[in-house]
Structure 1
């Protein structure tokens, strides 16, 4: 299987993350990329290619223009305002505050566009997110042109990035950008299957009122897990999108037997939808040793997951999302891909 990768994704190097009331070393770190690409090379998964540049147009096809401009300039504006450290929100337009006015202050705009406080902005965030998007689109184009599967080693991840919000380590929604490009290229229907531990709230937000993308997400129950305020089973779409958004919230401690039952139901729905393309938001923070998750999947389970995905018989693009047990992330990600390849 072809892998798309760039060392430029490691330009984003945040120093802090808010976790449990403490500032800690960020879980979403450049070393994640090293572990995955080392494993790709070690087992000989296939050729590794650099992505090509696609510019801003594919991003603007799914994200708000003002939001994209904010991300492009936020770091410089923060410094120009005489502020130190890494930008982190201190207030949001929460209930009974107005959300229809965007502040002039950079501190206010960070609160307007952020959905959570754990993810700081830092130098080169915008550049790294651009490269991550390029990786996703390069993988997509390979699948569309050849019908062969491809893996995009995206970083930062994307599935929490909504139309006009960042958070959960995500800035541009790579899976949504790729799906939109496939549709604009002539496809009629695309399915996005999100198997990350956390709900793909951003992807749901982007496609919630549409029927040309079937979105399915297996994730920790939002009563217990981030992002807390989206990802419930009764969120099934709106308008034309009714019935095309499917959530599988699962309790902490879920093992592979329970998780695989939910996966099989999702795959049944994908078959019934009959998409021309499947995009897998590939998070492996479902792993039993992941530091910020609570499922109990083991490394060998990811091989079986890959085999189940292969049985769909649909052209498939894999895009990296979460997975923070850094020592095992390479094994677990590549196990899905080798399971899919049948090797």
Structure 2
């Protein structure tokens, strides 16, 4: 059985009907997974409730309290925007904490079982820096999960970000830690304008691979084989966290790369060649059909 960590509560982060990062993203993925021929092999798991395990002490290790209070105040006032595109609704603060719990649950499962899992949660997180949310992101889920894994006794954690946008928040939070490696493949030029190859981290622990607009799997594959996999393998990670964004699909409206859903099966196979201990967590992806099909391909490779 393959665990998918999901709750309908993630739909309560209400960004508005016209916002690209909306609840329908998750329902589209869930519908696609339930229609897959191996749907009976999925183990749908609820995340640990915030009341049962508050992630706040861990979150406060990563994010400034003033910023967290800003999200909470916005939610309590009925919602608003952190910036022009990053929305907060009345339930967003608690839903964001639940999303952190889901990523932590993924780490717990993978550490115990040695097997991969998928965290189907929102809001996404890889653009959120310590003191500011941006790019639809509120809390830095992948970075928090990596620090949590180290707190649980793991020695080395890698984060691979294949979202079309550079994970500037994740990089900013982990690049100072010698026991975390971060690798990102992302379109350039593209939001948020970071992720230059010269950004290598404080311990040569960052690898940025910008992709030209229009790039296809033929451009990605040699980079995975010659750059990404060696960078991850050299570190011999105890855990691999994948910021699994699917907006590099050709069908996606917010970017300009030309991947197909089936290409994510190949990405996943490369990851499984590094380690079976993988936590896949949802980031971007805004064409519902391509998004759902891409997650299906990711999990199919694991099965």
Tell me the TM-score normalised to structure 1 length.
0.82
Q: Corresponding residue for 2:47?
A: 51
Tell me the TM-score normalised to structure 2 length.
0.93
Once residues 276 and 215 of structure 1 are traced to their aligned partners in structure 2, the CA distance between those partners, rounded to angstroms, is 14
Structure 1 segment 87-126 matched on structure 2, within 5 A: 87-88=80-81, 110=82, 114=83, 117-126=84-93
Once residues 201 and 206 of structure 2 are traced to their aligned partners in structure 1, the CA distance between those partners, rounded to angstroms, is 5
RMSD: 1.5
Over alpha carbons, which structure has the higher Rg? 1
The more displaced of 327-336 and 196-205 is: 327-336
Once residues 40 and 274 of structure 1 are traced to their aligned partners in structure 2, the CA distance between those partners, rounded to angstroms, is 31
**Where does the alignment leave 5 or more consecutive residues of structure 2 unmatched?**
none
Give 1:130 deviation, angstroms: 1.4
Q: Deviations over 1:95-134 (max 9, x none)?
A: xxxxxxxxxxxxxxx5xxx5xx222322211122112112
Once residues 337 and 58 of structure 1 are traced to their aligned partners in structure 2, the CA distance between those partners, rounded to angstroms, is 29
Tell whether 2:148 aligns with 1:173: no
Tell whether 2:197 aligns with 1:233: yes
Give 1:59 deviation, angstroms: 1.1
Structure 1 segment 84-163 matched on structure 2, within 5 A: 87-88=80-81, 110=82, 114=83, 117-163=84-130
Structure 1 segment 269-280 matched on structure 2, within 5 A: 269-280=231-242
The one of 247, 254, 273 equivalent to 2:208 is 247
Once residues 59 and 32 of structure 1 are traced to their aligned partners in structure 2, the CA distance between those partners, rounded to angstroms, is 25
Give 1:208 deviation, angstroms: 1.7
Once residues 313 and 87 of structure 1 are traced to their aligned partners in structure 2, the CA distance between those partners, rounded to angstroms, is 41
Q: Corresponding residue for 1:187?
A: 154
**Where does the alignment leave 5 or more consecutive residues of structure 1 unmatched?**
17-24, 80-85, 89-109
Moved over 3 A (4+): none
Asked if structure 2 preserves the Cα contact closer than 8 Å seen for 1:6 and 1:131, the reply is no
Q: Corresponding residue for 1:62?
A: 62
Q: Corresponding residue for 1:26?
A: 19
Q: Corresponding residue for 1:37?
A: 30
What is the aligned residue count?
A: 294
Once residues 168 and 340 of structure 1 are traced to their aligned partners in structure 2, the CA distance between those partners, rounded to angstroms, is 29
Tell whether 2:248 aligns with 1:286: yes
Once residues 198 and 276 of structure 2 are traced to their aligned partners in structure 1, the CA distance between those partners, rounded to angstroms, is 28
Give 1:49 deviation, angstroms: 0.6
